[in-house]
Structure 1
Amino acid sequence: MTDTTVRSTGRLRGVLDRIAEARRGDSSESLAAVFLLIATLLALLWANSPWGWTYEAFWHTHISFTVGGTGIDLDLQHWVNDGLMALFFFVIGLEVKRELAIGELRDRSQAMVPLTAAIAGLALPAVLFLLLNPSGPEASAWGVVISTDTAFLLGALAVIGPGKAERLRIFLLTLAVADDVGALAVIALVYTDELHWIPLVVAILGLAAVWQLRRLRVWRGGGYLVVSLITWVALHESGVHATLAGVLIALLLPVYPPKRREVEWAAELTKRFRQSPNPEYARTARLGLDRAVSVNERLMRLYQPYTAFIIVPLFALANAGVALTGETLLAAATSPLTWGIVLGLVVGKFLGITGSTALLRRKLPPGLTMSQVAGGAALSGIGFTISLFIVDLALTDDEALADQARIGVLVASVLAALLGAVVFKVAPAPEGPSMELLRPVDPRRDHVRGPVDAPLTIVEYADFECPFCGKATGSMRQVREHFGDRLRYVFRHFPLDEYHPDARQAAEFAEAAAEQGRFWEAHDHLFAHADALDRDGLDAHAAALGLDVERLEEDLRDGDTANRVADDDIDARTSDLPGTPTFFLGVTGQTPTRLEGPHDAATLIAMLERMATAASPEAPRS
């Protein structure tokens, strides 16, 4: 590969990293929650101002689109709720599909605890709500209490949650995705009043067309857009809520990590444009870059900002405007409907999620505590967006009950945020960086050199591009030679992305080599060639190691290798490790503790000898 091609490939990797960052929402979650909060306050101020009558008048203004004698006539509120919110649910569907295919939900064993918590957090709130509203029109609003507002949840977590709570954030994200799936299923199955079969058949044919476009490997969004619009109209006319079109279409779209040959082709097109800048080469280079990324990733990247900063706040503006008069507040204060929503969201979510997680606490990942889960469970009572959405579906014919339900949602959201703040406040704060190894050594998971039951243990967190780690491999060799079968050496990943741009992909390469039983060969080879860890270098290393290149690329693309590296990385950052290499030393029956100070072979040997002697004074020295 030429330098230009390498740089172009690097640019594409940067684009993909930004997509991943957008999916995590690291820098935008709090801002999106602020936009949503501002829109809610504006709606309440508008509805309760001297011009409050204009709120209802404006949002009930009708707009129709007609072709011939057929068309759709909706008021502005329902164009937002049924039309624009379809895009919101489309983005939710994209995220669900991505998590199922290559994300947190791919490993069902790791997702078991948050999935169980999500189910309990769906069921218990509904049960508590129905205890207060067992019959009548109010009972139909039980779906209001089942969902969590992901934007508010993550925004509140960023503001009032504990520091270094990435495990909690992943737990809550996984829970929220499962929660969304449950809420969408309830909307589809419960809040569909009547079906019109001919439009429904057209909608099904539209979904089949999306599936066929996927089979034909259509990667540009235009074809999907036309079919999606037809499907949305057909589903709207069928009686099924039209927003579900967004979810169903998203679940059909392909998602995959970039394929190497498409990355190479995109780099070649970029090279041609650089050598001869012209509109045609610019167009083909742009299309080549787009094609290298799955439709799912591109559309999520495209639409997430619109849904987070425009559509969801606009939805709040159109639906949160309740006239808080003495009459409506008195009616809400004495309404089983209002209190059922508060009870379900605030108490039901908290008890359901915390209680079910407590039963499975042994399966929680390292660094995630029950006090953190309890705080996150409290924040999960912020139902807001989908709760208000279901209010509109469940109580369409009774505006007074709808207002009581909206007040319940608003009150519950405030109380849930306050409860979360209290739980996090009273939770025991960590005393400082722990010096003990966070995740116990597990031979089924960890890469271990030496007997797995050896009495002495060294765990190293390292980075293949770190020059100090490379030098430490020589020290490790001397230490292993000194102790022989008395020592097991464990290697874990801690790629320092901000300093070593190729370290993470080298770590993922090593994990993919491990799938072929060649981790330690790859480990030694990568440290010996730490100055050549770019894509070309890794290709050369794969050939030198005799790896099955096709299988290697498939393992790199399926998401498991990236998740495995990320797991070690999160452990390291949760433990507040100072950098690489970092060593933990231990003996049988004791948790390995972090080594501070020099890590040359003589120091490591002396420390382990002292630990062995202290643990078993009668044991002979080697």
Structure 2
Amino acid sequence: MTQLTIIRTSPDPERPQDHSHQHRHRSVADKIRAMGQARVGAMLLLAATVIAIVWANVSHETYESFWDTHLMFGFADLQLDFTLHALVNDALMAIFFFTVGLEVRREFAIGELTSWSRAVVPVVAAVAGLAVPAVLFFLIAMGSGNEHAWGVVISTDTAFVVGALALVGPRIPGRLRVFLLALAVVDDIGALSIIALIYTEDFNPFPLVVAAIGLVGVYFTRYLRGGRGPVYGTLAIIVWLSFLASGVHPTLAGVAIALLVPVYRPNRRDVEHALDLARTFRQSPNTEYARAAANSLRESISINERLQTAYAPYVAYVVLPLFALANAGVQLSPDILITAIQSPITWGVVVGLVVGKFIGVFGATAVMKVFRLGELGAGLTLDRVAGGAALCGIGFTISLFIIDIAIDDSSAQNEARVGVLAASVLAFLIATLIFRVSDRVHPSQEAARTLARPVDSKRDHVYGSDDAPFTIVEYGDFQCQFCLKASGSIQQVREEVGDRLRYVWRHAPLVSFHPNALAAAEASEAAARQGKFFEFERALFSDQENQLPSDILRRARELGLDMEKFEADLTSPEIAARVRDDMLDAEAMEITAVPTLFINGVRHVGPYDARSLIEALEASVRPGAVV
């Protein structure tokens, strides 16, 4: 068996495990900031909804006349006539659906949906969350003449759900957020397919031939050396106009284009080349080197991710609020509310979204868990899933969108909109209640004290026998000097207790402190695929200051790894997912500093010199002892 580590650094036995000797996770602050951005987007969407409702009830005529304002675009005999309402729903929402398509493409290429074992639970939950609401709506609305509008209740509003999760969700929402986003991708695919197949009228196939040619052009644009932006823009307009002329809803052009935009994980050689150009610019600053360095850095990131980053603020802060302003103007007079309460359409929407989504998502997830099909991940308990399933009843954006294209009668549209608003409020309140009860039932302090994911020798990096009475699980960072000290202590423990110790390493890279830590973690996983995880660990710890892509490749060559396989594995989505799983486990246990050690499944608090660790190990097997 290979030696665990050859590095010895004398740990300081007098320094407790506190702020002074552990790097804290600034990435937690980054996640809070990201959740804050989602919260702002949701609040803007809510504000636009309130404004639309107030406007429509204070002066319904001006609301209707404003959005019925006609705009003319074109030249000579080529003219397009849009109302402001149609401009928002047909043109601006194409940008929204474009970003949805980018997310779908990314998740299937390098995200949560690359591995069926990880994706099966949210996929099944999403399918059930599409089917059950539709069936309930159809049964309730049967005989009203609008039962065909069942598409109104099938989709979840991702923007609202993520924002609501940031507002009322559990304190550590990482796993639940990933689960809901993966579910939302499948949900969006179902909604978009239904819009295309069910709610397309006056279909004309010939313009789609032009659209197909344009989409082929979009695909091959990736091979241009430069000037791709204008080409993408021109082809996108052609494809959108072709969809408009065909009768297929033009917003789906955004999805079709997005699915052809390339997505990939950054290649280590491309990153290294960009760094070389940046160094050249630093040594000889001039416009040419600056442009070359900037272009190289930009090209190392896939077009898909660059577009997501560029468009996300416009969608969240402009497109969706404008959509809400144009579509949420529901009249709420006493007579209208009485009519809505008696309307099967209103009740179909409310029951479909609030009850149907919950039964579909939660019920499918619970069944999958009972039969052990797929994996929910550490910290994602069924009560957390129940809160997320309740949030899925917020079907705001696409629900309002489908109302506009599935229901012709203005009174029925108003009743359906009342149902969507009521369902969204009810879903939010129910989810809030579930999360508050869940927090009381499963206090975070207890979750933080015990190891969330049991040691699995088939998954984890284990040194020692599964029969060993002592187990130390370390969440660490290869660039953290205190993790280096901990490795020296654990080696000393190993020498003293011998085969009675089993040691397990899991990843918790401090990406804000150590920009190369995540790449180092992924590289160690690539080495593990060739059976040399601990050898690569030693190489990383031996030179913590040099962990650039070139250093990582050099170490792999020195260890005699198959370089072609190693470099291919470095860009593998499975490798990234493996590290991300550890990081999400760490978040679920509120690990904000490294090294964090678990002694026989219980979090170790205190010094981690060899003597202290041995005492903690021995105490852990004494009856009634507290580690």
Normalising by structure 2, what TM-score? Answer: 0.89
Change in 2 beyond 3 A, CA 1:261/1:578 = closer
How far the C-alpha of 1:219 sits from its partner, in A, is 7.8
- Structure 1 residue 430 and structure 2 residue 438: aligned? no
2: distance between equivalents of 1:59 and 1:272? 55
Q: Indicate the residue corresponding to 2:6 in structure 1.
A: none
2:271 touches 2:549 (CA, 8 Å); kept in 1?
no
SS in structure 2 at match of 1:441: coil
Of 387, 391, 400, the residue aligned with 2:399 is: 387
How far the C-alpha of 1:155 sits from its partner, in A, is 0.8
- Structure 1 residue 417 and structure 2 residue 428: aligned? yes
Q: How is 1:208-607 mapped onto 2 (pairs within 5 angstroms)?
A: 208-214=216-222, 220-361=228-369, 362=372, 363-395=375-407, 397-427=408-438, 428-430=441-443, 432-434=445-447, 435-577=449-591, 579-586=593-600, 592-607=601-616
Change in 2 beyond 3 A, CA 1:25/1:141 = farther
Of residues 400-409 and 283-292 in structure 1, the stretch that sits farther from structure 2 once superposed is 283-292
How far the C-alpha of 1:595 sits from its partner, in A, is 2.1
2:39 touches 2:162 (CA, 8 Å); kept in 1?
yes
Q: Which amino acid aligns with 1:129?
A: F
SS in structure 1 at match of 2:594: coil
2:95 touches 2:315 (CA, 8 Å); kept in 1?
yes
SS in structure 1 at match of 2:544: coil
1: distance between equivalents of 2:261 and 2:334? 50
2: distance between equivalents of 1:171 and 1:562? 17
Of 186, 206, 216, the residue aligned with 2:214 is: 206
1:103 touches 1:559 (CA, 8 Å); kept in 2?
yes
SS in structure 1 at match of 2:146: helix
1:143 touches 1:390 (CA, 8 Å); kept in 2?
yes
1:220 touches 1:295 (CA, 8 Å); kept in 2?
no
Q: Indicate the residue corresponding to 1:182 in structure 2.
A: 190
Q: Which amino acid aligns with 1:450?
A: G
Q: Which amino acid aligns with 2:606?
A: G
- Structure 1 residue 192 and structure 2 residue 177: aligned? no
| Structure 1 unmatched ranges of 5 or more | 1-16, 587-591, 616-622
Q: Indicate the residue corresponding to 1:14 in structure 2.
A: none
2:453 touches 2:585 (CA, 8 Å); kept in 1?
yes
2:272 touches 2:550 (CA, 8 Å); kept in 1?
no
- Structure 1 residue 121 and structure 2 residue 132: aligned? no
% identity of equivalent residues: 52
2: distance between equivalents of 1:22 and 1:550? 34
Q: Indicate the residue corresponding to 2:51 in structure 1.
A: 42
| Partner deviation per Cα, 1:11-33 (whole Å, 9 max, x = no partner) | xxxxxx99xx7999433100000
Q: Which amino acid aligns with 1:581?
A: P
How far the C-alpha of 1:282 sits from its partner, in A, is 4.1
Q: Which amino acid aligns with 1:604?
A: L
| Structure 2 unmatched ranges of 5 or more | 1-25
Change in 2 beyond 3 A, CA 1:380/1:31 = same
Change in 2 beyond 3 A, CA 1:27/1:560 = farther
Of residues 574-583 and 444-453 in structure 1, the stretch that sits farther from structure 2 once superposed is 574-583
1:219 touches 1:294 (CA, 8 Å); kept in 2?
no
SS in structure 1 at match of 2:593: coil
SS in structure 1 at match of 2:561: coil
1: distance between equivalents of 2:346 and 2:544? 62
Change in 2 beyond 3 A, CA 1:203/1:578 = closer
2:278 touches 2:293 (CA, 8 Å); kept in 1?
yes
- Structure 1 residue 85 and structure 2 residue 102: aligned? no
Q: Which amino acid aligns with 1:415?
A: L
1:29 touches 1:151 (CA, 8 Å); kept in 2?
yes
| Partner deviation per Cα, 1:207-233 (whole Å, 9 max, x = no partner) | 122122235677832211111110100
1:584 touches 1:593 (CA, 8 Å); kept in 2?
yes
SS in structure 2 at match of 1:224: helix
SS in structure 1 at match of 2:505: strand
Of residues 450-459 and 434-443 in structure 1, the stretch that sits farther from structure 2 once superposed is 450-459
SS in structure 2 at match of 1:254: coil
1:32 touches 1:155 (CA, 8 Å); kept in 2?
yes
Q: Indicate the residue corresponding to 2:4 in structure 1.
A: none
Q: Indicate the residue corresponding to 2:7 in structure 1.
A: none
2: distance between equivalents of 1:37 and 1:535? 45
Change in 2 beyond 3 A, CA 1:318/1:22 = farther
Q: Which amino acid aligns with 2:488?
A: G
| Partner deviation per Cα, 1:452-494 (whole Å, 9 max, x = no partner) | 3434322111211222221222222232233433332111112
| Partner deviation per Cα, 1:232-280 (whole Å, 9 max, x = no partner) | 0001100111111100110111001222333334334444544555555
1: distance between equivalents of 2:212 and 2:283? 48
- Tell me the C-alpha RMSD between the 2 structures: 2.3
Tell me which of the two structures has the higher relative contact order, counting C-alpha pairs closer than 8 angstroms and 6 or more residues apart. 2
| Partner deviation per Cα, 1:279-321 (whole Å, 9 max, x = no partner) | 5544444333322221101111111111110011001111111
Of residues 477-486 and 557-566 in structure 1, the stretch that sits farther from structure 2 once superposed is 477-486
Of residues 493-502 and 32-41 in structure 1, the stretch that sits farther from structure 2 once superposed is 493-502
2: distance between equivalents of 1:311 and 1:324? 25
Q: Indicate the residue corresponding to 1:28 in structure 2.
A: 37
1:219 touches 1:295 (CA, 8 Å); kept in 2?
no
Change in 2 beyond 3 A, CA 1:121/1:490 = same
| Partner deviation per Cα, 1:399-452 (whole Å, 9 max, x = no partner) | 111111111111111111111111112222416144221100111110011223
2: distance between equivalents of 1:611 and 1:280? 63
SS in structure 2 at match of 1:137: coil
Question: Alignment length, in residue pairs?
Answer: 590
Of residues 420-429 and 350-359 in structure 1, the stretch that sits farther from structure 2 once superposed is 420-429
1: distance between equivalents of 2:224 and 2:585? 42
1:59 touches 1:75 (CA, 8 Å); kept in 2?
yes
| Partner deviation per Cα, 1:157-215 (whole Å, 9 max, x = no partner) | 11111101211111111111111111111111111123212111111121122122235
SS in structure 1 at match of 2:445: coil
Q: How is 1:102-113 mapped onto 2 (pairs within 5 angstroms)?
A: 102-113=110-121
2: distance between equivalents of 1:531 and 1:89? 44
Q: Which amino acid aligns with 1:160?
A: V
